Every structure is written in structure tokens, then in C-alpha cells.
Structure 1
Amino acid sequence: MLRPTEDQWKAITALRSDVVVTAGAGSGKTWVLTERYAAMLNGRPTLPPPEDTDAPIPTGAPCRPGEIIAITFTEAAAADMRRKIRARLRQLIEAGETRLLPYEEELETAPISTIHSYCAALIRRYPFEAGVDPDFVVLDEPEARRILRESAQEAILEALKEEEPAIRTALLVYGETGAMDLVLQLGTTWREEDRTGAEVWAVSRESLAREAKRWLQVREALLDAGRRMVEDGQKVSSTTKAYEKIMKFAASWPEMEEALASWDGRVTEDWEERLRRLDKEMWSGNAPKVLGDAVAEWKAAVKAAAEAVQAADLPEVTEGLCRLWDRVARRYEEKKAGHRALDYTDLQLRAVRLLEDSEVRRHWIASLRYVMVDEFQDTNRLQARLVGLLLDGGARLFVVGDGKQSIYRFRGADVSVFVETRQQVQEKGGVAVSLRHNFRSQGPILDFVNRVLGPVMGESANRENAAPQSSTIEYEPLVPTREKMGGSVEIVHIDSEGLAGRLVEATEAARWIRRFVQSGGTVGDESGPRPARYGDVAMLLAVSTHLPVYELALQEAGVPYRIAGSRNFFRRQEVRDLIQVLRWVYDPGDEVAMIGALRSPLFGMSDDGLTIIALAAGRGKESGLLAFSADPLGWVDGSHKLPLSPWDRRAAEDAARQVAKWRRRAAWESAGALVERIVDETGIVPTLLQTSGGRQKAENVRRFIEMAYEREAEGRVSLSAFLSWIQWQIEDDTDEEEAQVVDGADAVTVMTVHQSKGLEFPVVVLPDLARPFRSRREMWCMDEDGALAVKWPGVGEYAGFGWYERVREGEARKDREEEMRKFYVALTRARDHLALFGTRKLPSKKKDPLTVDQARSWFDWLICSLAQGDLSGAEELVGHAGEGVIWTRVIAPDGAAGFIDAARPQPKNRGVSEDRPGEGPEVIESFDSGAQMAEGQAKGEAARLIHHILTLGNAEGGWDREDFVITPGGGPLGRPEMATVSASRLLEYDICPRRYYYHWALRLPALDQAFETASGDGVPGEQEIPDPEMGGDQGPAEIEGVGWSPLLRGTVVHRVCERWTGAEPILDRLDQVLEEFRLMGPLGRRAREEVREELLRYADGELSKRLNRAQRVWSEWPFYLRLQGAERVWDLHGQVDKIFVADGRTVVVDFKTNRTAPDGVGALVDHYRFQVQLYAWAVGRNLAPVDEAYLYFTDPGVLAPVPVDPENVREALERVDARLNHLSREWRIEAYPFTEDLSMCRVCPYRAICPGFARGSAGG
């Protein structure tokens, strides 16, 4: 029989004490829980003691299953616990313990459940005392969020109507939507803490009062420092350079002193600027020796002042947010009562309140002997309070957890609850046990984990080298116990950065898996070593952002895989197709839904067919598509003259008949029945099964049918109600999991680290090691006393501005500590082999060693542990990373050419290495020939290459490979998404036809890696399409590994100018935009400084003054119009930056962020003129005739007029028509020449692959 370790034995047998077990990864926690439960039933252990142990076997009084409460945190875990206890009982009974026989049946009703199920059972037992309907229902999380948001909307309207000053101020500061989102975040947290807004405000008011007193001390220190500057300045020799500066300071000091003495610490734009200037102007270099101490004191005082000042309305806004939440909470309670419903937080709150009633508590816990809680590191304080009340009658506590595996802080888990419980149990004479023996992983893996995470997490034996503020969880080294069967750790370092490095990393990881399996790599099981299968491998992702990149790499490597619990259900193409069909059935006027449905595999119409139908005239002024949608059967009868292909004609007729029938059915048929009918009658499931990943797609379709029927069970039976529910799920970004395909397929499992918790795999592949940490930068945080500190939108030049930033420092530390724990979880999932992949460009020069606290990624922590923090010395780890660790360095190709080369399949055993340079620009130019592209093989190769690149660039976009197939016989307008043409797209053609071809015919993303966010993630999107105005040779220098670039600078400036209304300082709007792009900390300050003067110039300019006087202003105004050309009708769309009406005149403004001198504006106006004229035409068609139009160039601050008289607008439209005719006919690359303006080449995102750029470079 299996014998326990001494620590396991202690945990199992301490029946007369409270016990807290710290169960390290792979330490047999579940087995200990099962044996402990059996021991409690039996009154003594049911297994022999550890070997070589002579101590007597502890005993206690036997108990029944109904006298034990066992709580875990998922239904699956509760079911698994019950199953294992049942199996253990059966073993004991069969071994002769017949007195346990009655417990088998009792076990089925014993309280082994999640905490929410347990609370629900308690409330149903005492509904009257709990104040609820006995037949209450439990709201699922999406439905609860929907009702809560409705409550917030109503509460805001109510507060505005009643004109409550504090709430109104909060709404003015954050905006209605911003305030609502903020209050919902706050309230959700406060409810779980059982606090009201009024209670939070009472504490916050005291904290704000303390901050006001603190300001008085800071101000006095600032005054003293200034006086000392003046006094010591008199000692400065008049012959020194410093004399003039100190005399200037002394002359201005009396006025400054008077102003400072009366300053109440409320921040204004003027004082922010003054503090910034005082800080920066006082000797950026070394001060004179005689002034050294005074200057240091002054700078420290200025910094302290910057950290102490507060926004003028901070108390009122804080009060307003608290009051607004209380209004929301009242509305929410009323709505839930109307539905006879409780949410998950209600279950816990009402259960706690019931148990706080001494009479209820006495009856409920009367027979309770033991309380067991699993995964205790993931509890919060409300749950700990519940457990504490259950112990009031003398029951013994047994909790199991591991602070090193607490990774659910974003869900409210508080690891300090586990730490404090352990301390309390020990202080009261209880037992604290640490299970350190690991039964899962091979020795080399555990040695590596201990070596890396010991210093990082603050191993007690190495505390002097650990982070000074590391986790409150001390690292305890794991002890290997498995028989040695090899085991390995391999680290693959891709020495690169950006998109190219990420693609190479994914490719290397996929090839490693294939090579390991195909070359006979072995794993161990109970029978000994055996050859590895793909099903033994798990690829763990820290975040799912770049999942498509790894999917594509696995596909290209020929590695089968399955995605575990992907939460992108509503973004899957097969689900989107069904939703589009339903929307079209419901609304004949939904042209977008109709196009999506017709193009989907359900009908399979080609883009040419759609174009032919769209150009066919309807009976009125509607397009042929609308005519088709409104009367599909009538359309079919009259469609015989249209030049449709046989395939498209059949698709159109099939769609017409089917949709007409489904519309009739929708009048009386439930949504579930209708969805099932559509799936059956289109035969979509067999079609999907023939495609890549067909099993998953088919299961997702079946899951969608189930969801429709589930809504029917809740009363939502109509198509309209079902579509409304779907729209809510999409807008709420509901985490609906994809259907799970469960079969015996031999495939790699791809999942997130969070999903892997509690699991183990023979082989673990962990990519994306260099993913930069993302701080949970919320707009609020709570201090240690429970007071609310809110981030004031846009205020603050300094990183440590105000009370919020000081409170936030603690939150940032907790975020970093959770990253440590997440890394631990990821590493300890591996049984036999662990392979890690990270992309990090090594510095060319030696720098100061990284510390644990300075690290920005898991890769940095590897460097801290394995290379003493020396990034530049990482290459020395190749072959010398320590016993049992293989460190491989891969030199990724530089630039776009190498990036494209990396996308090509490589011959077997041919890896990317230092001696394999990229193949150069000819990789793309090999597709220049129109004849080649017309050939199927060349077309397939071009399409494959483009898919590879575009999937990488659109990792968050949800594109499928089918979306990017190049269709011969039509120009770049013949793309799937080109039902309409954007004005900015036409501008790109005017700038350079060849660039247009790369962008829109080959669909290449920007290959200059210009648009990388601070988190290291590429952010694609139409507003961020590379534009020549968003580049320049004089952009700011890049901060190592971070993405502040000329393109991003232009995007930020553009967005601020578009969205700034004049109601707040423009720098406030800037800070909001920087927050959107996650540009914070040093990078955010750098970005702010870079664009500050540019934006202040705009705010002070004549254009802004006119906007402030305007009677009406539109920002980011979208349009969609039809243009009748000489040969055909064109659908155009675009977005106008600003439209305003002032003094009876309608004005259009388009912002341009080009880096240019004022004398260079004229040439740029020539480039952009027709775009603004097109905007003027669109505004005239939709709003009012345009009287004036301008291009505003933000860099020089120049407002350039554009003529918009009828003759100029007519010429612009003719130019558009000619361009579109060309684009609709020509698909040969030769028909798209290079620009003659070589200055545009320097900022082109395709310059690395374009012969035109090489031509310009060669020409000087």
C-alpha cells in the first residue's frame, strides 16, 4: 500500500487540531484530501504510517459524512472529490471496514460542493430569515451584469434629474459612460466586501482630510527649501556660471513665496506647469558645491509637492462616486427582487448574514465536526468570514492551498487571506504543514524551478539576494521523488524583437514539438519510458492574445492540436455566419448581415456574384442587394438576365427560397427550432467537417443550437429576443467557451496558464516568455484603511502624482507578485520535459544588472536567476545554463525581408540560425508577374505567404485564412471586404500606387514594425493603418523593447485632436488617450513630453477658438454614400475628423500629423486636397453645404484652407471615379507604379521590400 511522506501523514492524522496545509505543486494534495476525509469518517488513519516511523497512530472520534463540510471552487472539482472519496470508501469496505458501509449512501447527499452551492443550500433552508423568495433563482454572471448595467443607466438618469451636485460633478469629470464603468467596478468590489458607498465615503473623507493636513507639511518644507536656496545662493561667487541662475531665482522668490504660502494644494494647469519648470530648471547637471545640499532639498521638496497636490474637486467627485453606487445598488436590488433572483455575491452575503444570526447559526452547525476547504489561496475575505462562522460551534478546520499558486486576483482572490489564516492557526496551537515532496516532475525540471523561482519569489534561504518586497509567500524548494527517466529543460532564446521575432518564436516552438515527437522523444508513465505522442504535449500561453499566431505555426508544422476551453465563441467564423443569417432573416434591410450570410459557407456566393447583384437596379432607389433582401422570391423571378455564374445563380436562388421560408417560420417558431432548421437545411455541418479544424467548427454549431434552446427554457423564444441576447453577449464580451471536442485524437493541447492550473502534462511548451507584464492600471484603488483613491483623468505631469499614485504603488507590487505565482504554475505543470521560448533583443553594450523588481517579463527573471541579471551576457548561457538545462540561441532575420523569409516552410532540419540571412526583397517581387499570379500554384503560394503574415499582424482580429484568398480576374477592389471603398484608401493610392498594391492587393501588414504598443502587442486596425502622415525621419528615439514610434505618435495626436472638446484641458484628453494605448510610466511620460507642445499649440490656436464658439460640433463623423460614376455606381465610406457650425457657416477639418516645417505644408496640401473635397461632398449630401474646409497640420500648427466650391468638388469626384475604374480592372502589379515623390518612400511601411525604395536609395 502507498505510504505517505511524514508531512502528508501529519496533515492526514491531526484530527484533533485545526490544520493548514501548504501544498506545493504536484505534492499529492488531492490524495491527502481523500485520505483525510476517510480518516475523519473512520476516527483514525486508514493507511499505514510513513516508512521508518514508530510513532503511535493518532485517533479521534469517528464521524458521518453529514458532519463534514467540504468546499471547493468549481463544480468539476467537487464532483471529482466526491468520486474519489466514494472510491476510497469502497476500497475500505472491501478490505473489511464494514461499519463504513452506511456511509456510501449518505456520501451522495453530503455537503461536498462549491461555496456558492453551499450558500444556496443554506438560504433555501432559511428563506424567511434570509428575506428571499423560497423559489429564488440564481442569475448567471452575464445576466447579472446586464441587469446591473441597466440599473446604473437608470440611476444616472435619476441623479441628473434630481441634480445631486456631487454625482453631477463626478459625471462631468469622467463622462457618463466612464463614470458608469468606474462605479460598476467599484460597486462589484464593495459588494463582496459587504460595504456600501456611504461607508466607503466616510472612510475616504477622513483619508482626504489627512491628505490635506499632509499638504500643509509639504508646503512648509517647500517654503523652507526655497528660503534656503536664496540664503545659500548669496554664497555663490559672481564669477561662476551659477550666479546668474541663482540670482534670477532669488529675484522671483518673494512673489513665489507669497503664492506658495496661500496655495491650498489643489492642482491647476498653471501650478502643474510651474512645478514642472521649477523641477527641471534647477540644475539638471551638477550644482555648485556651495549649493549642493540646498538644490537637493529643493528638488526633493518639489517632488513631494507634486505627489501631494490633489485635483480641486477630488473630495466632491469621490463622494459623488460613492453616492452614485448606492443609487445603483438600490435599483439593482429592486430589479433582482422583481425577478425573484439572487446573484453569486448575494448568495455569499446572505449566507454570512444568516450565520451571524446566533439562532440560525446554532441550529445549522449543531452537528458539524469538520470544515474542509480546498484551494484556500483563492478565497476572499467574505468567504473567509463565512468559514469562520461555521467554526463557531467547535468544528475543526482543515484548509489546503498554496500561496505560490494564487493567480486569480482579477476575480477578487486575496492571497493574504491564506497567509493570515495560516498564522492564526499556528498562534492558536494548530498545525501548519508544508507538502514539499513533488510526485509529478522529473528532477531536472524541479531543480530548474527551484533555481529560477527561489531568488525571484524570495526563498528564505536566499533572502539577501531576493526582491526586498517580494511576495508574502516564502518560496519553499520542491523535492523530487520520481524515479529518474531522463527529464529535460530547454530554453530557446530568439534574439530579435517585434513581429519578426514573434513569428520565428511560434515557428520554432511548433517545430520543436514536431521534432520531439517524430525523433522518438520519450516520456514516463507507470509502466516506464515510452515514445511521446502529440497528445502528451501542452502548449501553455500566458495570455490568449496571440493564439492565432501559434495556431498557424502548428498548422504549418503539420502538428495536430486542440484548443482547450477557448473563450472566443462568438468570434468564431462559423458562429458569426449563423448570426448573420439570423439577422438577415429578422431584418430584410440589414445589408451587412445579408452580405455576410451570402458569402458564408451556408450559401457560398462569390464576391463577383455579390457585385453583380449589388449593381442591379431595384424597383426604387434601393440597391440590387436591398431589392434582393426585401423580396427574394420576386427577385429570383426577374434575375434571369443578370450575368451570374451557374454557381452564383444556384447560390442566390437557394438563399432566396430558404430565407423567404425561414422568415415565415420565424413568425411562430422558437429561436432554437429555427436555428436547428437553418443548420439542417443548409447542410452546413458536413461542409464544415471537410475543412481544417472541422470537428471543432461542427461542435461550435451544435453548441449554438443548444444555446438557442437554453434561452427558450428562460422564456426567450422569439428570434428577436434571441438576437437581442446575442448582441448583449457580444457587447458584454461574455466569456462563452467554445464547444469541447472530446475524443481520442492524438493532438497537442493549447490552453492558457490559468486553464492549466491543477493539471499536469508529460511535456510542456511555454512560449512568449518575453511578454511584458501588464499592470492592472485601473482608474481606482483602495488604501489600507479601505478609502477610495481615484485617478483624476489626465491630471499630473509626474509619475507619482497625487494620493492615487502613492496608493497605486502597492497595487502594482501585488500585480508583479501574481506574475511570479503565474510563472510558478506554468513551470510546474511539466512531468518529464519543459521547453521555454522567448523573444528578446539583447543589448549590444553591457548594462547594469537587472534586479528582480526591475524585470519586465518572465524572460528577465530567467536572466536574473541564470545570468545574475546581465542581459548582454545571456548569449554566454548557450551551453552553460546549468546542469540539465539546454539554452539555445536563435538569431531571427532582421527587417521585413527576413520576416517574410521566416514565414516560408523550411526543409527538414533547416533551422533559422546566424548563418542563414534573409533572402531579401525578391521574395515578394517574385510575385510581380501577373501571369504567375494567375497560375494556381503561384496564387496559392502568394496567398499562403500573405495569410502567414496577416494572421500575425491581426492576432487579435479574428480573421480566418479564407478571408485573404487572392481572386484572379479582378483588381484589388475585388476583395471580400470591399463592398465599399474608404476615402483614406483612395488617398493611399494617390500617394503611391505600388504601396497601395502591397497594402490592398497582397494585404500585407505594415512591415516596419512601427505600431507596437507598450505591452509589445501589435495593434492592427483601420485607424492605425500606416499613413505617411504618421511617420518621419525625426521621430522620437525608441525606448528599448517598447513601442513609442512615429506612427504611434501620429495616432495619439490625431485621436486627441479629434476627441478634444475644449471642456477640459487638452493635456487631460492626452492622458486619457495614452491610457487607452497603455502608454504609462516612463514611456507615458516620454510620449507626453513628445507631443505636449504640439497639442498646446493646437489648443491655443484660432481653430480651437472657433470650435469653442461653435453652435454644433461633430467629431469622427462617419459617412456611407453612393457615387454615380461614368460607368458604374461606387459605394464610398469614410470618417470626417471635425465638422462644426459657427456663425452660420459649416466647416470641415481634417487633421494631419506629418512631421513638416511650415514651408512644407503646401506640397502636402496638394496630396490631401481631394480627400477633404470628398469629405465636403459627403457632408453636403448628409448635413449641409460646406462653406469652408481646412487641413490642420499639428506639427507646425498650420491651418491650410482647401477649396470646396462646386467646380473643385466635381473635379475631385471625377478623379475618384477614374481611380476606382482603374482599381476595379487592374490586378497586375505592373499596373501600380512607384511614386515619383521619394520623400514618401522614407516613411513607407513597405520600403524594406519595395524596389522603388531601393531605386531611391541608390539615387541618393
Structure 2
Amino acid sequence: ADTEKEEIDKIKIEAQLVGEKIKEMVSGNRNNVDKPFLVYDKKIKDYRQITYKDIAVLMRTTSNWANVFLDVFHSLGIPSYTETDTGYFEVIEIRTFLSLLRIIDNPRQDIALAAVLRSPIVGLSAEDLGNIRLYHPKGSYFDALKKASTSKKSDLNIKINKFMANLEEWRSLARSSDLASLIWTLLKETGYYDFVGGMPGGRYRQANLRALFDRARQFETTTFRGLFNFLRYIDNIQESGNDLGTAKALGENENVVRIMSIHKSKGLEFPVVIVSGLGKNFNFQDLNKDILFDKDYGLGPTFVDPDKRIKYPTIAKFAVRNKLKLETLAEEMRILYVAMTRAKEKLILSGTVKDIKRNLANWSRNVNSLKWQLPIEQTANGKSYLDWLCPALIRHRSGEEMRKLGSCNELPPEHIRQDKSNWNIKMHKYDQFDTSLREIQKGEYEDLIEKVKNLTPLEPQSDFEYLINKNFRWEYPYLDIVGKPAKIAASEIGENVVKEPFYYNKDKGKQNIPVKRPEFLQKSSKLTPTEFGSLDRDILFSLIFIIIKRLFYYIFSYFRC
């Protein structure tokens, strides 16, 4: 577990280093703000400032790496995207929603129930979960939840009762409707679909939820139907060690950083390519099998002595193993060539090593070799791409700092050291980025979260504030004539008069303004019902006015006398 955590930390550190380099290029060099990084655009036939879509991050394998890079990039505010064949059931939105489906099928699943209660669907805190358990320390957590729902009224009690009512309704819906309808209803009623849309990478998270809906709809077409069978189908996929790829929701011109494997980058080119994970060891697991096979050398078995209860490799196995290792290294070298030739204008190589001084001392063993090509024993003993790249770069004039740190006093040959290629070699310590990474994870959004909790107005975080205000606060400048017809046919004049059309007044809103009929219409026909009504209304108002006026006159005369 410690080794796995250490490996994840190394990936995070490298991802942060790459992310900061991307932000530096896109926003402008910190040391030369007036000289942003430019790339050539064939469409405009001129140089322009680099954007995120001009950058691709390549790695030997995206498994365990791509998702970590995505999370770190999102924390740095870098839009990014990756296509993976695995990791669908590991993304937070799918794990949370599957937990909701599990407790709808059977609420007495403590882990799934706690996951839903803690999620934004219910919004309870860890302290709330602990308080619920106190109502029923032993037994099912669902029993504790039911007892907490009957406790005295509080904010926690209100949330629990609301959730319990929704859960009962959802369970009834699961029995009476099809699976796809249930999932879509849950996405809308819980608001979870909209919530994940506001998270970093929200568009792709929503695509993952839509993919779950589509898979449920496809599952309903089979002979196995219902929520229970669908969850069992998902469990079988996970128990067999298989997984599904995350949903693909990326357009060709999306302004995002592409993260992909080197294999998938074949045939593609990008203005800027960052090849990451160069410190990862090559995979030689297949060479550790008891029996190896080669089409030329045949079988390479391991000798087993049952009497002495020992086993050891035979000479045939050594020969086959050495041949297979060289073939693996040759394939890795071809893959490295593919990665380095994907860049059109700028190539960035990154990798992490555990003991930099010891590695530099090993890489500088043949620094004074007169040949351009590295000795075959050095390339054959390489365990990672850095074991090939660094021995070559340390002989360049830019590798002086590497030679000093590796305690190498010898100089490379002059014709190699003064090669015309330009390399900018930088080495960073783990502690520097470890501290910075913690600051990003804990401190970047603390101020914003605190303001949201206190309902304090937030300052605009976007450069498009003016454009947003202009669009959302825009008012139509000609409201006075809204509703007035541009033209009226002669046959429509009578109809418009009778219907008393609306006219808009900016101060008083919509009003009915009676319009008199033309005189030629008044002479040719009697009064219309509308005109009769208007006449009765005017007479009644006049009589009321006269009566009130006379009443005030008599009252005033009485008091005066």
C-alpha cells in the first residue's frame, strides 16, 4: 500500500510540473511576459499565441496515469481530456450514482448508503453520519437512519425525513417503471446531473452519466431486465477485472489539452508535445514466467529438482530470456521514437527518479566516449526511457549541471558537447512540488468556499464579465412600439378596432386603449356591443361623479351653517 501511494504521489508531482509548464506557455512566460510562446498556424499562415488545444501530453500507458493528470490539471484550471478504455466505474459520479441505485434495490447496504448520504444528493457531513450511528450503535445503518428520522425535529432530522420519503418513492418507481426511466428520473429529481456539470470537467462527467443511461436502456432490450439484474451485471464486470471506457464527448476544435497514450498518437502531430512518465520502468513481467518461448530459440524452461525442492533457470531459458528482453527494448525504443516525432515545434520530456545523484553518476559513466552512439551495454541495461535519454543529454553543453551533480569531472568530446541542438534541462526537488501540491489541493479554493458559506458576494472570476453583463442586462431600445403592427390591411381595420388591440406603455405596461371607428363605418352601421358597453360605462361614471359632487356640496353646506 505504501509503494502504491508513493507511486501515485510521484505521478501527481510530475503532473503538477507539467501543468505549471502548460500554464506558463499559455498565459505567458513568467520571466518574459512580453514574449508569449508562439506557434505557426497554417490557416492564417502566420504565428499566433499558443492555446490549450495545441498541446498534447503523451505517455507510455494511460492506466493509473491519465486520471491523476486530469485531476491535477483541473485543480490548476487547465481544461484537459483523455480517452481511456478503463476507469469508467472509478470516476466519482458513476460510483456515487451506482451507490444510489444499490440502496434503491436494497437499502440495507451500509457502504452504499453512507456514500449516498455523504454525497451532494443528500449533503450530510461526516459528523452527521456519526450522530446517526449513535441512535442505533449496533446493527444495520439503515435501522439507525430510521430511528434518527423519528427523533426530535432538527436540520438533520429534516434532511433525513426528506431523503427517506424520496427513497420510498424511488423504490416504488423502480418496481413500476423500466430501468432507463428510473435512471433519468433520478438524474433530474436529485439534481445530480446538473451538479456534476458544474464540477471541473463537468461536460465529460455528464457524458459519463448519459452513457450509464444508454447502457441501462440497452440492457433492457435483453432477456434480463430490472434494477437487480442490471446491478448484478455491473458487479460481474467488476469482479472479472474488466472495466469500461469513459464516455467520449470531445469535438475536434475543443480548446483542451489532449492526454493520450503514445500508441494512439501514431499518425498525429501537435505544435507542442509533452512526453511524460519517462522515469517509469519498462514492463519485463513476461520474462519472469517459468517457461519462455521464442520462435527461433524454442522453449526456455526452468529446471525443477523435486528432491531438493528447488528450481533454477536453465541455459536455454537464459538465452530465450536475453533475446526476448532485447526485442522488448527494441520495441520500447521504437515507441520512444514515435513519441518524440509527434512534436512540430516544441518537445518537452519529463520524468521522475528516486535518487538523482546515484542515477546521474550511472548516466555519466560513458560521458567521454568518442562515438555518438551510446555503448550497447548501456542501452541494453536501461530500465526506463530516462536511462537512454539522460546519458545522451549529459554529454551536451546544456548538461553541465547534470555532470556537476553526478560528480563527473570528465568532459564530453568537443564535437558532441557543442552540438547545434538546443536543450533546456531543469531539475526539481520533490519537496518543492510536494509543498506546492498541498497548497493547490488545500489552499487554492479555501477563500472562495469560505465566502460561499458566509453568503458573501464573490468577485468576478472571469475575463468575460463585461460580455456577460452586456448580454444578460440588455434591454430592447424600442419597447414603446412593441405590439404595434407594422401595417394593417383595409379589411382588417374593423376587426382591429372591435378587438381593441393592446398597446405597450413603458411606464404603465400593457393597456387596453379603445380606438374610435372611422366615421364612414359609424355612418354605415349601428353601434357595436363594445361601443354600447363603453357608452354605458361613461354614463355610469358621469352619474356617480355628479352624485358624489352633490353629496360633498350638501355636507359642506351643513357644516358651514
State TM-score, norm by structure 1: 0.29
Which of 61, 66, 77 pairs up with 1:543?
A: 61
1:730/1:538 CA distance change after superposition, 3 Å: same
- In the alignment, what sits opposite 2:73? 554
1:532/1:599 CA distance change after superposition, 3 Å: same
Report the alpha carbon displacement of residue 827 of structure 1 after superposing the two structures with TM. Answer: 1.3
1:861/1:602 CA distance change after superposition, 3 Å: same
- In the alignment, what sits opposite 2:142? 626
- In the alignment, what sits opposite 1:903? 437
Residues 514-555 of structure 1, C-alpha deviations (whole Å, 9 max, x = no match)? 122222212223223222111111111222323354334424
| Counterpart Cα distance in 2 of 1:714 and 1:791 | 48
Alpha-carbon contact 1:863-1:874 (below 8 Å) kept = no
- In the alignment, what sits opposite 2:262? 753
State how many pairs are aligned: 404
| Counterpart Cα distance in 1 of 2:384 and 2:396 | 12
1:598/1:888 CA distance change after superposition, 3 Å: same
- In the alignment, what sits opposite 1:319? none
- Equivalences for residues 900-1049 of structure 1 within 5 A: 900-903=434-437, 941=443
Residues 1140-1173 of structure 1, C-alpha deviations (whole Å, 9 max, x = no match)? xxxxxxxxxxxxxxxxxxxxxxxxxxxxxxxxxx
- Equivalences for residues 488-887 of structure 1 within 5 A: 503-519=12-28, 520-526=36-42, 527-544=45-62, 545-565=64-84, 567-617=86-136, 622-623=139-140, 625-627=141-143, 639-641=150-152, 644=154, 646=155, 648-743=156-251, 744-777=253-286, 779=289, 780-784=291-295, 800-801=313-314, 804=317, 806-840=319-353, 841-843=356-358, 845=361, 848-849=365-366, 851-867=378-394, 875-876=402-403, 882-887=419-424
Residues 951-987 of structure 1, C-alpha deviations (whole Å, 9 max, x = no match)? xxxxxxxxxxx9xxxxxxxxxxxxxxxxxxxxxxxxx
- In the alignment, what sits opposite 1:1195? none
1:661/1:904 CA distance change after superposition, 3 Å: closer
- In the alignment, what sits opposite 1:294? none
2:351 is paired with a residue whose SS is: strand
1:858/1:561 CA distance change after superposition, 3 Å: same
- Equivalences for residues 320-359 of structure 1 within 5 A: none
Residues 1028-1086 of structure 1, C-alpha deviations (whole Å, 9 max, x = no match)? xxxxxxxxxxxxxxxxxxxxxxxxxxxxxxxxxxxxxxxxxxxxxxxxxxxxxxxxxxx
Alpha-carbon contact 1:823-1:858 (below 8 Å) kept = yes
2:182 counterpart letter in structure 1: L
Report the alpha carbon displacement of residue 705 of structure 1 after superposing the two structures with TM. Answer: 0.7
| Counterpart Cα distance in 1 of 2:301 and 2:262 | 31
Alpha-carbon contact 1:700-1:739 (below 8 Å) kept = yes
| Counterpart Cα distance in 2 of 1:760 and 1:614 | 56
- Equivalences for residues 352-367 of structure 1 within 5 A: none
- In the alignment, what sits opposite 1:1008? none
- Equivalences for residues 101-140 of structure 1 within 5 A: none
1:523 is paired with a residue whose SS is: strand
| Counterpart Cα distance in 2 of 1:604 and 1:792 | 61
1:853 counterpart letter in structure 2: A
1:593 counterpart letter in structure 2: A
Alpha-carbon contact 1:765-1:836 (below 8 Å) kept = yes
1:655 counterpart letter in structure 2: F
2:437 counterpart letter in structure 1: A
1:746/1:709 CA distance change after superposition, 3 Å: same
Report the alpha carbon displacement of residue 746 of structure 1 after superposing the two structures with TM. Answer: 1.8
- In the alignment, what sits opposite 2:507? none
| Counterpart Cα distance in 2 of 1:695 and 1:652 | 30
1:723/1:804 CA distance change after superposition, 3 Å: farther
Alpha-carbon contact 1:880-1:887 (below 8 Å) kept = no
| Counterpart Cα distance in 1 of 2:128 and 2:116 | 13
1:836 counterpart letter in structure 2: L
Report the alpha carbon displacement of residue 821 of structure 1 after superposing the two structures with TM. Answer: 1.9
2:295 counterpart letter in structure 1: E
RMSD (Å), alpha carbons: 3.9
2:139 counterpart letter in structure 1: E
Alpha-carbon contact 1:800-1:806 (below 8 Å) kept = no
Residues 633-669 of structure 1, C-alpha deviations (whole Å, 9 max, x = no match)? xx57x52327x5x1x3343223212222222233343
Residues 758-784 of structure 1, C-alpha deviations (whole Å, 9 max, x = no match)? 322121111222211121326454342
Alpha-carbon contact 1:789-1:807 (below 8 Å) kept = yes
Unaligned runs of 5+ in 1: 1-496, 907-938, 945-961, 963-1260
Alpha-carbon contact 1:501-1:892 (below 8 Å) kept = no
Alpha-carbon contact 1:672-1:717 (below 8 Å) kept = no
1:888 is paired with a residue whose SS is: coil
Alpha-carbon contact 1:506-1:550 (below 8 Å) kept = yes
1:576/1:501 CA distance change after superposition, 3 Å: closer
Report the alpha carbon displacement of residue 738 of structure 1 after superposing the two structures with TM. Answer: 0.9
1:740 counterpart letter in structure 2: K
| Counterpart Cα distance in 2 of 1:612 and 1:534 | 47
What is the identity percentage for the equivalent residue pairs of Structure 1 and Structure 2?
A: 24
Matched, 1:888 2:425: yes
Report the alpha carbon displacement of residue 858 of structure 1 after superposing the two structures with TM. Answer: 1.1
| Counterpart Cα distance in 1 of 2:185 and 2:134 | 32
Alpha-carbon contact 2:303-2:312 (below 8 Å) kept = no
2:229 counterpart letter in structure 1: A
1:788/1:800 CA distance change after superposition, 3 Å: closer
1:498/1:628 CA distance change after superposition, 3 Å: closer
Alpha-carbon contact 2:74-2:201 (below 8 Å) kept = no
| Counterpart Cα distance in 2 of 1:740 and 1:869 | 42
Alpha-carbon contact 1:504-1:902 (below 8 Å) kept = no
| Counterpart Cα distance in 2 of 1:661 and 1:766 | 51
- In the alignment, what sits opposite 2:556? none
- In the alignment, what sits opposite 2:461? none
The one of the two structures with greater contact order (alpha-carbon pairs below 8 A, sep at least 6) is 2
Larger radius of gyration: 2
| Counterpart Cα distance in 2 of 1:602 and 1:787 | 60
State TM-score, norm by structure 2: 0.63
1:511/1:626 CA distance change after superposition, 3 Å: closer
Residues 443-483 of structure 1, C-alpha deviations (whole Å, 9 max, x = no match)? xxxxxxxxxxxxxxxxxxxxxxxxxxxxxxxxxxxxxxxxx
Report the alpha carbon displacement of residue 502 of structure 1 after superposing the two structures with TM. Answer: 5.4
| Counterpart Cα distance in 2 of 1:662 and 1:560 | 36
| Counterpart Cα distance in 1 of 2:213 and 2:303 | 46
1:783/1:503 CA distance change after superposition, 3 Å: closer
1:782 counterpart letter in structure 2: F
Alpha-carbon contact 1:605-1:652 (below 8 Å) kept = no
Report the alpha carbon displacement of residue 868 of structure 1 after superposing the two structures with TM. Answer: 6.3
Unaligned runs of 5+ in 2: 1-5, 29-35, 367-376, 406-415, 450-561
- In the alignment, what sits opposite 1:1021? none
| Counterpart Cα distance in 2 of 1:591 and 1:792 | 51
Alpha-carbon contact 2:39-2:50 (below 8 Å) kept = yes
1:720 is paired with a residue whose SS is: helix
Report the alpha carbon displacement of residue 590 of structure 1 after superposing the two structures with TM. Answer: 1.5
